[in-house]
């Protein structure tokens, strides 16, 4: 039996060797598996498409797809390996295999699967194996789908892509129960989607991103990213945040990101950039390299609720009022183990904050524990407006709550919080990065007319 590691080690030489792979390296159809295992499905063997064939089967495979499209007959591929490349899917196709056993192996020289201006594309039970080979610049992913009215990718495996695992442009439909690993870019890259559902997938070990939901211009997107597991996402391209995020929404409004488990991302577990009316609910975020949950830049409307953040350089940040970022609810989150060490140097204190907010935001019912610099930070310089921090628990932080007292800062209400073990002060005023006051829970804070500080319990 040939395992995946030894198979990929030799895959780089497939093209030069004319695919002269030993017969034992490619699975063959087990006895008893009929070629057309689905009732009414086209027999792949009738078109010369058979598992275990050492030659590239792209031409025969394309003929099989064309025949299927004539009367929308589904295609079933028995277990085994099929070497194909540059396959353009018809407008309507239903292609299925045996999960974990039917492998479409990319033969190189372009792309694996592509569809454009399609009505219905359905892939189930297939392994798409890119063998870590180069993909042409005109194809963004191992599966490249553009302007597809209804795309279904269900119970598939997508491994070793030389670009994105799945690249979607103006696509509606659902990606579910699919495992994507080892992509040289992102696991799933979607741009200009229309009510896409990305549910119950596993995205791991990708070089620059996990699940990306982007738009070219800000607009309603309505994508739902729910119940996924995203782990070990790197930022090979570097930078200060565009790469290395587990789930990233950019200019995509009305996106829901809920009940995902995200761990070991180079930057954020969840990053919403210029995305309005976003909901980030019930996610579990572990060991993020930078800010675990981010709502930033020119957004209006964010609900960040019932998430767990354990380990990050910042916990939750709802910021950039200077760019128009405002209007949020941050409640019921647990944030813990926040360090002051980030993935890049910075010229001012930026890391080590549990929760940061700036404008038109309620901050209630959160628990912050073990935060290196501040438990909470309200505003930055003059960028503070209509913030209410009430009923939170903060313990073991340098400063419990840091609030800006720079001229021009707007109102903030800080009441009924429980603050424990904050050696540098429970509530302290700052001018930008510099400490400007003593502990405002023990002093007269009325000289700062924009602040209301009452009934906080400090120990």
Q: Render pLDDT for 260-303 as a digit per residue (tens, 0 to 9).
A: 999 999 999 999 999 999 999 999 999 999 999 999 999 999 99
Length of the chain: 459
pLDDT band for position 331 (cuts 50, 70, 90)? very high
Report the candidate in 400, 351, 403 with the shortest Cα–Cα distance to residue 379: 403
Is the sign of the CA dihedral 446, 386, 375, 331 positive or negative? positive
More confident residue, 120 or 442: 120
Check residue 48 and give its pLDDT.
87
Are 362 and 331 in contact by the 8 Å Cβ rule? The answer is yes
Check residue 38 and give its pLDDT.
52
Check residue 347 and give its pLDDT.
67
Q: List 96's β-bridge partners, or say none.
A: 76, 124
Tell me the pLDDT of the chain averaged across its residues: 91
**Which residue, chain included where needed, has tokens 């180069």?**
134
The model's pLDDT over 9-35, given as tens digits with 9 standing for 90+, comes to: 333 333 333 333 333 333 444 433 444
Beta-strand (E) ranges in 229-340? 229-233, 245-253, 256-258, 261-265, 270-273, 278-281, 284-286, 291-296, 300-305, 308-312, 314-318, 326-331, 334-338
Q: Is the pLDDT of residue 346 over 80?
A: no
For residue 8, the SS3 value is helix
Share of the chain above pLDDT 70, in %: 91
Please give the model's pTM, rounded to 2 decimal places.
Answer: 0.91
Q: Is the pLDDT of residue 438 over 70?
A: yes
Check residue 175 and give its pLDDT.
98
For residue 335, the SS3 value is strand
The model's pLDDT over 205-257, given as tens digits with 9 standing for 90+, comes to: 999 999 999 999 999 999 999 999 999 999 999 999 999 999 999 999 999 99
pLDDT band for position 419 (cuts 50, 70, 90)? very high
pLDDT band for position 41 (cuts 50, 70, 90)? confident
């Amino acid at each position: 039996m040939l395992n995946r590691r030894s198979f990929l080690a030799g895959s780089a030489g497939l093209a030069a060797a004319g695919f002269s792979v030993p017969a034992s390296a490619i699975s063959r159809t087990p006895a008893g598996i009929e070629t057309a295992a689905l009732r009414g499905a086209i027999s792949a063997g009738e078109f010369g498409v058979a598992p275990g064939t050492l030659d590239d089967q792209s031409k025969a495979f394309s003929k099989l797809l064309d025949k299927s499209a004539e009367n929308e007959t589904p295609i079933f591929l028995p277990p085994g390996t099929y070497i194909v490349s540059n396959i353009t899917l018809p407008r309507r196709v239903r292609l299925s295999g045996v999960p974990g056993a039917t492998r479409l192996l990319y033969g190189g020289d372009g792309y694996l699967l592509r569809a454009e201006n399609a009505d219905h594309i359905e892939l189930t039970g297939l392994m798409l194996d890119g063998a870590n080979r180069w993909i042409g610049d005109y194809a963004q992913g191992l599966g490249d789908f553009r302007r597809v009215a209804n795309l279904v990718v269900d119970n598939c495996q997508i491994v070793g892509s030389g670009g994105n695992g799945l690249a979607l442009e103006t696509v509606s439909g659902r990606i579910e129960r699919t495992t994507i690993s080892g992509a040289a870019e992102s696991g799933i890259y979607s741009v200009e989607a229309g009510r896409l559902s990305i549910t119950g997938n596993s995205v791991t070990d990708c070089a620059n991103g996990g699940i990306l939901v982007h738009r070219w211009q800000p607009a309603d997107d309505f994508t739902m990213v729910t119940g996924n597991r995203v782990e070990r996402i790197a930022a090979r391209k570097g930078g200060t945040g565009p790469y290395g995020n587990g789930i990233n929404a950019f200019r995509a409004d009305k996106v829901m990101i809920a009940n995902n488990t995200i761990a070991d991302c180079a930057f954020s577990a969840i990053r919403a950039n210029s995305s309005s009316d976003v909901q980030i609910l019930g996610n579990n975020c572990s060991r993020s390299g930078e800010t675990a949950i981010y709502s930033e830049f020119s957004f209006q409307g964010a609900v960040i609720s019932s998430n767990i953040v354990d380990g990050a350089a910042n916990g939750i940040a709802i910021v950039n009022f200077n760019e128009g970022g405002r209007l949020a609810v941050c409640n019921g989150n647990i944030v813990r183990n926040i360090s002051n060490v980030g993935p890049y140097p910075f010229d001012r204190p930026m890391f080590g904050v549990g929760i940061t907010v700036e404008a038109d935001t309620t901050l209630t019912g959160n628990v912050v524990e073990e935060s290196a610099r501040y438990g909470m930070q309200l505003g930055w310089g003059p960028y503070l407006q209509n913030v209410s921090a009430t009923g939170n628990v903060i313990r073991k932080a340098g400063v419990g709550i840091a609030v800006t007292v720079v001229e021009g800062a707007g109102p903030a209400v800080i009441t009924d919080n429980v603050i424990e073990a904050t050696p540098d002060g429970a509530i302290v005023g700052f001018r930008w990065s510099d400490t400007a006051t003593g502990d405002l829970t023990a002093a007269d804070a009325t000289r700062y007319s924009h602040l209301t500080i009452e009934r906080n319990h400090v120990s």
